[in-house]
Chain A
Amino acid sequence: MYNVVITGTNRGLGRQLVESFSQRGHNVWACCRTVTPEFEEWCADLEKDCNNWIKIIQMDLQEPESIKTGINHIISEKKSIDILINNAGIGHMGLFQMTSQKQYRSIYEVNLFAPMQITQMLLRPMQKQEHGTIINIASTAATEIYEGNAVYGASKAALIEFTQSLAAEVYKYGITVNAIAPGLIDTDMSAVFEGNNPEEPIRHTALGRKITTKEIAEDILKLLEMEIVNGAVLYINGGHK
């Protein structure tokens, strides 16, 4: 049984991760910006069903001070922090020249700088306990080349580089760092990438459909069993066509 920190948990893949990890008996610090009564109730019901604990941590990943407060709260509990999943992200699809500076800074803040800050803070307790697993949710967009992907793709490519270099740096402390690069997922965020033609992105996948959040969560759980895998990028996209 692990204690897991997951960001971006009130919807999409993050919410599925909370569910899948809970169903395996793991405990979760569920970090999210917006805490609704519905989400609180959902977490409470899941706790009852799974006999674990789920603690909701409100934090805004656009605000370093908010991150600091939230993560310090987790650390102050003095529990083993076994796994960090940097899941929260902002999707974006748009011509670079039509993307404001405010917008691309905001995307980088959530997709790169927040995971870096959270990781930096949690590495120390992980280092002291001499084990830890960090999983960064990147995207296949990190390596794909197409119009409108300059900002989002660059932010995820940077996250992958961060993952791989950090993996080399902290393995000596018993900490592994890997990235997951999903393709198009069946979440609200996928609408951002579909534009006016929802079938177009799917046409380029061998799978021929969107990947479900449950499929990704299950593959992430399998990754946890692989102790030597470090600095890897696991593409979960059903293959290119």
Chain B
Amino acid sequence: MTNLEMYNKAFIDALEVSENELEGLTYQGITAWDSVGHMGLIAAIEDAFDIMMDTDDIIDFSSFEKGKEILEKNYNIKF
């Protein structure tokens, strides 16, 4: 599985969305991605990539696209 596939899967599993809903998805843009859903999503991403994200990054993680940017920049995960 590629990094992008793992990233997408974390969203799909944690937020129960389909793959074609991922582009443009934002925090609090759907009911499932509330603060509780956010922590579940972060846990799924941390498990997928075996990382532990800083609190500041968790707070900045505001969209599907922003999340990839944070993972690339701060955790050296290439997409």
Contact = CB atoms under 8 A, between A and B. Distances in A.
B52 A128 contact: no
A124 B42 CA distance: 9
Interface string A112-125: 00000000100010
Contacts of B43: 124, 127-128
A128 B50 CA distance: 13
A75 B47 contact: no
Chain A binding surface, main DSSP class? helix
B52 A124 contact: yes
B55 A128 contact: no
Interface string B43-59: 10011000010010000
A72 B47 CA distance: 16
Contacts of B77: none
Query: How many A residues are at the interface, by size bracket?
Result: under 10
Nearest to A71: B52
A70 to B, nearest CB: 14
A82 to B, nearest CB: 18
Interface string B30-67: 00000010010011001100001001000000000000
Contact of A127 (B39, B52, B55): B39
A120 B46 CA distance: 15
B59 to A, nearest CB: 11
Contacts of B52: 72, 75, 124
Nearest to B47: A128
A77 B52 CA distance: 12
Nearest to B36: A172
B55 A120 contact: yes
Contacts of B55: 120
Contacts of A72: 52
A127 B47 CA distance: 12
Of A72, A124, A127, chain B has the most CB atoms within 10 Å of the CB of A124
Nearest to B53: A124
Contacts of A127: 39, 43
Interface in A168-204: 172
Contacts of A75: 52
Given A75-B52, A124-B52, 11 more contacts: A72-B52, A120-B55, A124-B42, A124-B43, A124-B46, A127-B39, A127-B43, A128-B43, A128-B46, A128-B47, A172-B36
5 contacts: A75-B52, A124-B43, A124-B46, A124-B52, A127-B43
Ranked nearest first, the 9 interchain pairs of A and B with the lowest CB-CB distance are A128-B43, A75-B52, A120-B55, A127-B43, A127-B39, A124-B43, A72-B52, A124-B52, A128-B47
